[in-house]
A and B are shown apart, each in its own frame.
Chain A
Amino acid sequence: MMAAPARLEPPRPPEDTAFPPPPEWDVLQFDGSDRALTDTLLAPLRGVGRTWWTLFVLSALGTLLFAFTITYTIAKGIGTWGNNIPVAWAFAITNFVWWIGIGHAGTFISAFLLLLNQHWRASINRVAEAMTIFALMNAGLFPILHLGRPWFFYWLIPYPATMGVWPNFKSALPWDIAAVTTYLTVSILFWYAGLVPDLATARDHAASTFRRRVYGIFALGWRGSNTAWRQHRIAMVLLAGLATPLVVSVHSVVSLDFSIAQLPGWHSTIFPPYFVVGAIYSGFAMVLLLILPLRWAYGLEHIITKRHLDAMAKLTLVMALLLTYAYVVELFVSWYSQDPSERFTYFVERPRGAYAVFYWIMITCNVIVPQIFWWKRFRTSVGVLFAAGAAILIGMWLERFIIIVTSLDRSFLASSWHLYRPTWVDFGLLFGSLGQFGLLFLLFVRFVPFVAISEVKRLRHDLKANDGRELGLPHA
């Protein structure tokens, strides 16, 4: 709780406006000057400790594994994976959907919450955005890799080809290309636009000439004038406006990869909202997994506070409930359809078939585990949050795996029923992609201000001006 500050009396809002009650935890606890705040937030850029190096080596090894398995796959063929007919899609598409899903939380936090004036997002939104970009970079690789002839991947992109053939726009895969490239482009733009003032700060506080020059180049000559700030604000709102619909559209399009097919277990109209919810859900879990160690390692508990953890946990719980609803609707719709294949897939193959163990782990991780967030104690407990985040990520990966593989392995004709078994290459690609993600994220943390300095400072001024209350009023 802050001491009564010595300052000018702020203008009181009109009496009939109800103030929201003071929050239980402060969204930002910092007593020092702005300069001190800036120093604190730029501290990670000055050097890294042993933990960073350990994780970096691990991630580098993972990335090497990734590079090796990619090369091996392209050189030898998709036969090195465990796919077969009927299970022609397995790990690669699961990984693709999982990674893209993870990316959605970043955009949700930065763009969606920006439009809703949730300023508490300030300290975590850059991490979330970066997570989105790195997740998308991983995700974008898998659709190319899983092609039988990946060197022709560009045929899915509409360009005037000498063959005179365009992609088939009735298929969901060219839509995927459009969605993912749009998403990646807008995310990078949004992230970078928000980053520019902070790069300028880093430039101004740079220790060496070399760093000053590098940050200076990327800061694009930002001088911090009023006009610049105003234009910056407008640009961020516009980009947020562009990015927000993508939260819904991109994963809807990805889910259409499945629902336009006629397989039992895929052919369901609930897929777009179901997948979007699942995406944001898994993304929140990944954000938790990222910010908890960061906050511990860099001592940022007063910047990323229990308030943030509490909010994240509540959002996670909401998504879990929506996802549970989607599961129930799926079951109901399949039962109601009276189609024997649909009923078989949902009531026999998934809960009692060859992969039943994974189905029930998925249910536990996605439906049961997040229920602990009804209790405030667990919402702010770092250990519980971390474990729950990991469980949710595993559960969401398994959800995509179950959807893809258990619909393909036992579909209409029993003569083609066959199970799927992953090979070491499949696992190598999955863990390798985690390694690459970690590598990129660690580099990001090392070289780029991962807390939005300007936004946190603005939030601080907001709070000071309003007695520690975050009013959520729009900025001028």
Chain B
Amino acid sequence: MMSDRPRSHRDLALSRREFIHLAGASLALAGLDGCTRMPAEHILPYVDNRPELTPGVGEYYATAMSLDGVATGLIVESHSGRPTKIEGNPEHPASLGASGPLEQASLLQLYDPDRARFARSQSTPTSWEVLAAQLAPAALRPRVGARGAGLHVLIEPTSSLLDEELLARVIESHPDAHIYMYAPLVGDRGAHGIVTHYDISAADVIVALDADFLSSGPFHLRYARQFADKRRLAQPTDAMNRLYTIESGFTPTGAAADHRFAVRPSDVAGIARSLQSALNGGTAGPPWLAAMARDLRAHAGRSVVIAGEHQSNSVRALADSINDAIGATSRITWRAPTPLIGEHVPVHSLTELVAALRTRAVDTLIIVGGNPSYATPAPFDFSVLLRSVPNSGYVGLYENETARDVRWFVPMSHYLESWGDTRAYDGTVSIVQPLVNPLYRSTTSAEVYAALAGMGLVGSYDLLRSSWKRRGNAEAAWGDALQRGFVAGTQFARAESEGRGSTVEGPGSRVAATSNPIDVLFVADPKVHDGSFANNGWLQELPAPLTQLTWNNAALLSPTTARRLGVGNGVHIALTSNARHIELPALIVPGHADDTVTVHFGYGRAGAESLARGVGANAYDLWPSTGVRFLSDVAITVSSKTSALALAQTQETMEVREPVRHATLDEYRAAPSRVGRRPGRALSLYPEIPASERSATQWAMTIDLATCIGCGGCVVACQAENNIPIVGASEVRNAREMQWLRIDRYFAQRETEVEALLQPMLCQHCEKAPCEYVCPVQATTHSNDGLNEMVYNRCVGTRFCSNNCPYKVRRFNWFDYNKHLSDTEMMAKNPNVTVRERGVMEKCTFCVQRIREAGIAAGREDRPLRGTDVRTACQQACPTNAIVFGSLNEPDSEMVRRREQPRSYAALDDLGTEPRVRYLARIRNTNSEIAGAKHDGGAR
């Protein structure tokens, strides 16, 4: 039909017949498509949606985190099968919905790139399965003896019923084996029987005797809530509780106190004795003691003395007798069994293990968790002893100091990727359920004990389920426990109220026998705890409460002591005791007790943790024995070395302006409106936004400075929620930290006392924002619902907005802080929030991603969005509910009701920025009989 000659278009005319031929042939040929010889590979579309799983929408699972063996219930948000944000579990007694910095930051620990990934035997890679076979009783008996006398297991404090059950089986299998339990902050006391509980909500007057009960210790989140609930002051005439804090360092409990007395650690026992005698009419002790005793007595039945957990037995006994005298016993404070295991399995102390090691009676030592080569008192020389053990093994999260001293090592699973169980301080049992499959070839403590007990390789889930059944729980209750995060009705009943504390005499503290007047106080670090969190960037970069120190520990001392020694900030001082010494840079803390130096545990790490290595000095090197709270025979020498401290804030006073308003309760009641005085409306070129352009919800926030204790949970929560990067010590020294929320801290002298004024400072979302009109590219705009928006992809980085922000809450990406993240660190990022690149500004957005998510949910459910539907990350973490967020158009909401208190004010309100964040002035319920009650230059 076709010829080769080119034709003109007229020649291509087809006849009808030819056309039908062609059409038919094409149609037939089309069918040849089907004649493929490729194998069929079927893909399936994701039509089978689980109704509860929508990509992009988070799921929430309850679990619990165990710190020093005691649980805090958590709800963890999970995206695409991995956890991205931790919140408190509102129904759990230890959390009541709140979470502290350690809980918030534990998420990052799961994704820590320095975590150990492989098991090894010496330096040969191996696997848990191989090592488990070597732990089976049959394999171990030749080494440890028929009754297992050579088998020793050192564990972290735990309250896990499963672990206890399995350890009991290990003992059955090896009757002469020894189990030891140790953590530096739990010491050797908690394993034995009885602990003290408090009901802070029943107390009107509280004396904290070297007890940081508001921000550390088990149940601190709960106590903080109970404490704050009695200080809401909705009306000036409302009642308010009163807290006296007697302490050496400056803790959040000291900052929250109405009266804070700085006392040397060696004087605490004397104070307790004087207080007891004062209650009986004695006059010994400092001038304020008598007034405090009178106050306690006047509120008998509603007053309590809390002695810190690390106090000696004698001090605790004194506190007990005082509580008896003022009627607090069994009403406000009572005894209960410890949640830590030890009832069904004999548990020994570290001292006994060291003795066994020294006599070379240890053949096999298995260390599960903790870091004893680092976190033990220096005289024990644990690292050296450990290296001499013939068969030593360690199960841990990192290849740390302990891992270096053992023969074989297995990575441990993080709690967010493990099955297990744990108990809260009051005994409430929680199931720990994983949110992601273990990232690495790791194992859990339960699996290790199961192998030791001869059960072979059994997974934690199976162990837990069978244990659950064996405990007599119904199968239906399992689902309930997983869903709610705890098992109802498992809290302990109270123990005998006459219990005089533990039966083991704590080693107490060395009594001063020399003329050297400096005490050294050993304290857990509020950020890295005992060192377990040293590799956590969020915590290292969190400005320490009250000191604002990051990426280091320091020798904290008072201004007077510093002057006497001739040191300034950053000057190194060496502390020597019994031929051991450490060297630390000095940091002056107003209000710190004189002639005292506070050192924090947890620094001076030397393991594989890259962030922690070389940061700070190891205070364990100076620690003489477990349970020692302070040393009195310490020699101090000033070194010529200095280091620059990475302080997030260097100013100690408010200087020119007064962003934190404060008054005593008496002053407030006398003139309520003077505290929250508002200047007249400043003239502004800003046009008023017409009502038609305002949406129904107008977001705002109220922060109560009377209940903020400065714990820093909100800061880490914000960092976790909003993908805020860490920048490192040298950048912090150059004021380039990235946290959107910071806690400003000012000191004020009150005659003999020093008051700390804390103020969480975040973007104020000003209605007349000074940052908006200066941005040349309109990268910061105002939304209809009152948010000051930051448009990252429009920002060119002129930083004019930061210059014009009087609150300096805007942060700039000076470098590519997010560029060199490991794969696992990227998994920690919240997928609902942009990760900002170099050169753009960022700042608090009032968690706009949560607002919009709630708005979408409301739209789907066809109802208006309520202010109470949204909780910002900072609000959700705060243990005292100091931060409340909501809509201005809901006059009945908590946020608006607080805002209308007479003591509410806006920071820097005379600048005319009209912020949406209001602060409630800090009110101290002072005792007028005590000298520091007057506010010199307080509310003017």
Contact = CB atoms under 8 A, between A and B. Distances in A.
Contact of A417 (B651, B800, B803): B651
A149 B779 CA distance: 13
Given A147-B797, A148-B838, A167 B656 contact: no
A84 B761 contact: no
A58 interface: no
Interface in A247-284: 257, 260-263
A412 interface: yes
A181 interface: no
B465 to A, nearest CB: 52
A53 interface: no
A170 interface: yes
A85 B777 contact: no
B860 interface: no
B774 A260 contact: yes
Contacts of A168: 773, 775-778
Given A76-B815, A149-B795, A167 B776 contact: yes
Interface stretch (A100-108, A150-158, A208-216, A431-439): A150-158
Interface in A282-304: none
A87 to B, nearest CB: 8
A278 B922 CA distance: 47
Interface stretch (B178-186, B335-343, B591-599, B805-813): B805-813
A412 B807 contact: yes
Interface string A433-460: 0000000000000000000000000000
B234 to A, nearest CB: 28
B542 to A, nearest CB: 16
Contacts of B837: 149
Contacts of A172: 774
Given A171-B773, A261-B800, A413 B761 contact: yes
Nearest to B773: A170
Contacts of B561: none
Interface residues of A, number: 51
B776 A261 contact: no
B796 A167 contact: no
A414 B804 contact: no
Nearest to B657: A412
A414 B653 contact: yes
B911 A412 contact: yes
A88 B655 contact: no
Nearest to A418: B735
Contact of B796 (A148, A170, A260, A408): A148
A434 B650 CA distance: 36
A261 B812 CA distance: 19
Nearest to B808: A416
Given A85-B736, A171-B773, A262 B911 contact: yes
A257 B839 CA distance: 20
A171 B742 CA distance: 28
Given A89-B799, A344-B656, A413-B808, A84 B736 contact: yes
A148 B776 contact: no
Given A171-B800, A263-B803, A414-B653, A84 B659 contact: no
B567 interface: no
B657 A85 contact: no
A351 interface: no
A333 B152 CA distance: 79
Contacts of B356: none
Contacts of A155: 776-777, 794, 796
Interface in A325-349: 340-341, 344
B60 interface: no
B325 to A, nearest CB: 43
A86, A174, A344 pick with most chain B CB within 10 angstroms: A86
A413 B773 contact: no
A418 B774 CA distance: 23
B770 A261 contact: yes
Given A84-B734, A171-B773, A411-B808, A165 B794 contact: yes
B808, B812, B838 pick with most chain A CB within 10 angstroms: B808
Contacts of A147: 796-798, 839
B777, B794, B802 pick with most chain A CB within 10 angstroms: B777
B804, B841, B907 pick with most chain A CB within 10 angstroms: B804
A412 B778 CA distance: 25
Interface string A63-107: 000000000000011110011111111000000000000000000
Interface string B891-926: 000000000000000011001000000000000000
A255 B12 CA distance: 78
B649 interface: yes
A412 B777 contact: no
Nearest to A174: B776
A146 B799 CA distance: 9
Contacts of B267: none
A390 interface: no
A415 interface: yes
Contacts of B815: 76-77, 79
A415 B776 contact: no
Contacts of A344: 655-656
B745 A165 contact: no
Contacts of A163: 794
B654 interface: yes
A156, A262, A340, A414 pick with most chain B CB within 10 angstroms: A414
A152 B796 contact: yes
Nearest to A177: B776
Contacts of A77: 813-816, 838-839
Nearest to B658: A340
Given A77-B838, A83-B814, A155-B794, A414 B911 contact: no
A139 to B, nearest CB: 16
A165 B816 CA distance: 26
Given A148-B795, A341-B657, A344-B656, 5 more contacts: A76-B815, A89-B803, A173-B774, A261-B804, A413-B761
The 5 residue pairs across chains A and B that have the minimum distance between CB atoms: A148-B797, A148-B839, A79-B814, A173-B776, A415-B744
9 contacts: A85-B808, A85-B812, A148-B797, A155-B776, A155-B794, A261-B774, A340-B656, A412-B911, A414-B655
